[in-house]
Amino acid sequence: MKRLIGNSEVLTGRIRGMTTVLVLLLAWVSLSCAGMIPADKFPPPNVVVRTFIELIRSGLLAKSLASSMVRIAEGFAAGTLLGFALGTLMGVSRTLERLFSPLCNALRQVPVIGWIPLVVLWCGVGDLSKIAFIAIGAFFPMLVSTFQGVRGVPGRFIEVVRVFEFSTLRLLARVVVPGAFPDIVTGLRLSLGTSWMLVVWSEINTRSGLGIGEMLWSARMGSKLDVVLICIIVIGLVAYLINEVLGHVEARLLVWKRSYR
């Protein structure tokens, strides 16, 4: 019964959220039909829909999204793996924490876009620079979340397993990582959300090849406002879907944690 009530509340929240979107859409259609919105400043819905269909038929939108997703996958994997490894090591070792914590705390205060000149200098303007930029952005949220999760594992758990003479690897696999898992999942969500924002930014600032950011910037330079609007809508929609999927995965994996239901 409680589960049914919870699902009903979630559905009600989704419907309310869609209501806001529908109201804005109706306002856009009404104002455009009434001529209250200049077409050269904000294209009408029928033009945007027609352009959207053309982009789908041409395959340009799909190719651009696919290119961005590949870059995200590679940068996200590299950044989160490094962040998880270093965060775990710092969490279990006071010595490593004292060695790396000041440096990591200093570097993570640097805005991510501040790394662009250095990344471009080292990696050029090709895909490698975009992947490196995304990896930097994904690294720090994962590092901080993993470190906090590992350090938050109750000491009595570790003392108990040490009685059974667990090896270090077995201690990490059986106690530390499972105990820190909620924070690790949070780090994954933060890192993936950051990665999606950064892939768009990197494609705009290091333009080369396909990508949704490249598509957005090219449309802006060509004054194609309908394509610009489509890119913005697609970027927001993909970000929303990423958050939804990760939220449901988190709810499935962390059934004891009332976080995303």
Domain ranges of the chain: 1-37, 44-253
For the chain, the residue count is 261
CB 246 within 8 A of CB 192: yes
DSSP letters spanning 202-261: HHHHS--S--HHHHHHHHHHTT-HHHHHHHHHHHHHHHHHHHHHHHHHHHHH-TTS-S--
| Listed residue (61, 83, 72, 26) closest to 218, CA to CA | 61
- The confidence score (pLDDT) of residue 5 equals 47
CATH number of 44-253: 1.10.3720.10
DSSP state of 172: I
Q: Rounded to two decimals, what is the model's pTM?
A: 0.78
pLDDT at 78: 95
pLDDT for position 177: 77
Give the H or E element holding residue 154: none
Q: To which H or E segment does residue 9 belong? A: helix 2-33
Tokens representing residue 239 in the block? 């970000």
pLDDT of 241: 85
**Residues 131, 203: contact at Cβ < 8 Å?**
no
Distance, CA of 99 to CA of 86 (rounded, Å): 11
As averages over each run of 10 residues, the pLDDT of the chain (261 residues) reads: 49 65 75 72 82 90 90 93 93 87 88 83 84 92 92 70 63 74 87 87 76 86 86 86 78 59 47
The percent helix, strand, coil of the chain (3-state, each to 5) is 85, 0, 15
Token pair belonging to 114: 């501040």
CB 239 within 8 A of CB 199: no
Taking Cα atoms as reference points, which of 112, 109, 68 lies closest to residue 242?
68
pLDDT at 115: 84
